A and B are shown apart, each in its own frame.
Chain A
Amino acid sequence: QVHFIQSGAEVKRPGASVKISCKAFGYSFSSHLLHWVRRAPGRSLEWVGWINSDYGVTKYSPKFQDRVTINSESSANTAYLDLRSLTVDDTATYYCAAGTTKGRGAFDLWGPGTVITVSS
């Protein structure tokens, strides 16, 4: 069965960095774009960026452009989100997502989420 497994919850201090992972099972990362989306408490969903693992191409939201890196290990079918200079506003659940069957923008596969808490 196709699914994602994400790494466990993280607690960080302001100014720190965090790196979380998303591993695919029953599905090849290189097939489609892999997106990262977050949802802060009481807020809406927010798109962070995507990676095309086949070509190593990434695209980031302007909001995160200066402090985010998305990369992947094709052999491990795993993608990573690296977020730097954390602030309390980065406290959120971070999801990996992909559109595997219906094309652009149809995110039909989601990971369970990784909670990142930023607190002093």
Chain B
Amino acid sequence: VMTQTPLSSPVALGQSASISCRSSQGLVHSDGGTYLSWLHQRPGQPPRLLIYKISNRFSGVPDRFSGAGAGTEFTLKISRVETEDVGVYFCMQSTHFPITFGQGTRLEIK
């Protein structure tokens, strides 16, 4: 089970946001990798990959986005929030079967 907090995050433009994701079991795979990703979904669009394997930023993702963590605790940080960052953020684990997602965190501009 993947538990995200907070479920809603109102943030002022230019400020930072942080989203936590806790797994009910460790996410280190037998091959040594930790398969924890972060996705962003805007209304009416499919999800898009931001971060993979905890902290690797996908190509084209601004360096305002950073991922960190280990074991069962992971964090996505968004620095200098912009209007395009609104939407829902999901953590996803693919270490264990079945693949599971967090509940989602809705980022909004206040």
Q: B36 contacts which chain A residues (CB < 8 A)?
A: 105
Contact in complex: B99, A44 (CB < 8 Å): no
- A47 and B99 in contact, given A107-B37, A107-B39 (Cβ under 8 angstroms): yes
Q: Are A102 and B56 in contact, CB atoms less than 8 angstroms apart?
A: yes
- Which of A9-17, A68-76, A80-88, A110-118 contacts the other chain? A110-118
Contacts of B35 in A (CB 8 A): 104-105
**In the bound complex, do residue A106 and residue B58 qualify as a contact, i.e. CB atoms below 8 Å apart?**
yes
Q: Are B46 and A106 in contact (CB under 8 A)?
A: no
Q: Is the CB of A106 within 8 A of B39?
A: no
CA distance A111 to B52 in the complex (A): 19
Q: How far is the CA of A105 from the CA of B93 in the complex (A)?
A: 7
B11 at the interface (CB under 8 A from A): no
Q: A44-B103, A112-B46, A113-B46 are in contact. Are A104 and B97 (CB under 8 A)?
A: no
Contact of B92 among A45, A62, A111 (CB under 8 A): A45
Count how many chain B residues have C-beta atoms less than 8 Å from C-beta atoms of the other chain.
29
Interface residues on A, range: 20 to 34
With contacts A107-B39, A110-B46, A110-B47 taken as known, whether A45 is within 8 angstroms of B52 at the C-beta atoms is: no
B74 at the A/B interface (Cβ < 8 Å)? no
Answer yes or no: B100 CB below 8 A from chain A CBs. yes
Residue from B29, B58, B97 within 8 A of A59 (CB atoms): B97
CB-CB nearest 9 A-B residue pairs: A105-B94, A106-B52, A110-B46, A105-B35, A47-B99, A45-B101, A61-B98, A108-B49, A44-B104
The chain B residues found within 8 Å of chain A, CB to CB, are 29, 33, 35-37, 39, 41, 46-49, 52-53, 56, 58-59, 90, 92-95, 97-104
Residues of A within 8 A of B (CB): 35, 37, 39, 44-47, 59, 61-63, 95, 97, 101-108, 110-113
